[in-house]
Amino acid sequence: MFRGFGPGAFEWLAGLERDNSRRYFTATRDVYETEVRGALEAMLDELSLKFGGPVKVFRQHRDLRFSRDRTPYKTRTYGVLAGDPASAAGLYAELSARGLYAGTGYHQLARDQLERFRDAVADERTGPVLAAAVEEARGAGLEVAGATLRTAPRGFPRDHSRIALLRHTALIAGARLPGEGGIARDAALGHVAGTWRAAAPVVAWLDAHVGPSAVDPRRQARS
């Protein structure tokens, strides 16, 4: 049963930032397994009853095969729910020393998705709908973010009325709840569920006008 996140969960994550070593992780693994990963998994299990599963919590170890950064552990612990099977967006939750983050959206747009996204943003019938959904999400206290280009994408004018959206190569909406002193059960569940619901209009637009990629993931990785 999910009981919330105690102060020890965020203290452990802050400690991992200070000492990202196997010695620290091994010595405090019981805190990680119960108060951090275990509590996050329990929260997602409970939320899956309303939003749909399955639950996936990612491993704490970093993949060092292609990284110059040799620190062995991620400094955040995160997982996803599959949510609506008709949606290409997962429902994401993350613990870090800064607190509990929840978000959803398209965290990466493949080439075919990006083409559909830009066409729909530029279209005067569909683009204003996304702009309104983004403003609604911000009005609910969410941050709308995602990787962006430094300038206008090729073929679009720099003074386009929705140029800020056109520059996006990913689009996510989320919010963070500070973790100092811990986060009680109801506060954590309310924050995550409320964030996912507030972001739903943005995700609905993405699902309607972008959808999943048809590009082979192996080709995406090489592009």
Predicted confidence (pLDDT) at residue 219 exceeds the cutoff of 70: no
Predicted confidence (pLDDT) at residue 178 exceeds the cutoff of 70: yes
**Residue 130 near residue 105 (C-beta atoms within 8 A):** no
14: its two tokens: 């802050």
Structural domains in the chain, sorted by start: 4-222 (3.30.930.20)
Global confidence as pTM: 0.93
Q: Work out the pLDDT band at 216, boundaries 50, 70, 90.
A: low
48: its two tokens: 């899956």
Q: What whole-number distance in Å separates Cα of residue 207 and Cα of residue 11?
A: 38
Q: What whole-number distance in Å separates Cα of residue 38 and Cα of residue 21?
A: 21
Least trusted range by pLDDT, from 26-35, 94-103, 131-140, 209-218 = 209-218
Predicted confidence (pLDDT) at residue 221 exceeds the cutoff of 80: no
Q: Kindly report, residue by residue over 92-136, the tens digit of the pLDDT.
A: 999 999 999 999 999 999 999 999 999 999 999 999 999 999 999
pLDDT of residue 85: 84
pLDDT of residue 19: 98
Q: Work out the pLDDT band at 218, boundaries 50, 70, 90.
A: very low
Q: What whole-number distance in Å separates Cα of residue 208 and Cα of residue 115?
A: 14
How many angstroms separate the first and last alpha carbons of the chain?
A: 43
pLDDT of residue 217: 54
Task: Please list the alpha-helical segments (H only) found in the chain.
Answer: 7-18, 22-27, 29-31, 37-51, 111-122, 127-139, 163-166, 185-198, 200-209, 217-222
Q: Work out the pLDDT band at 69, boundaries 50, 70, 90.
A: confident
Instruction: Give the number of other CB atoms < 10 A from CB of residue 207.
Output: 16
pLDDT of residue 68: 85
Peptide bond into 153 cis (omega under 30): no
Q: What whole-number distance in Å separates Cα of residue 116 and Cα of residue 125?
A: 14
